[in-house]
Amino acid sequence: MADKKSERIAAQNKKAYHDYFVEETYEAGIELFGTEVKSVRAGTVNMKDSYCYIEQGEIFCTGIHISPYEKGNVFNKDPLRIRKLLMHKKEILKLFGLTGKEGYTLVPLKMYFSGSHVKVEVGVCKGKKNYDKRDSEAKKQANRDIERYTKEINR
């Protein structure tokens, strides 16, 4: 297992934390071509509207936009192509059982480098309602106000 120092985050899906309650997270490898890895190193990844699904015992991720590598010419692949995630069969079956429950879905939360390998953190998520989103936003705002106030007092 790689230590935390060698992990470098390439992209995060901040919208997922706004739209979903994250119940559990799993680490998965992702099947990429060489020019895609170079684009990920450059940080040209957008995970905003991406999600995962399980089909025939394999897990796939769609909606991750990896911009074409500038110097890749004919070797570049489609930026929005469906990518296969690499996980153990037992983990995939467990995720399949969890997503069978009503309201649960698989969402990629972040893409990062673990050593020289690109990994994706997949979350088992339950959708938030509008009042949940307003409630979490109010809590964040209250925490910001408290921090700002304590900072002014400590000056």
So where are the chain's domains?
Answer: 4-128
pLDDT in tens, 25-73: 999 999 888 888 888 888 888 888 888 889 888 999 998 888 887 776 7
pLDDT in tens, 78-117: 778 888 899 999 988 888 888 887 778 889 998 998 888 8
Top CATH class, 4-128: mainly beta
Global pTM value: 0.74
Question: Can you tell me the distance from the alpha carbon of 87 to that of 93, in angstroms, rounded to the nearest whole number?
Answer: 10
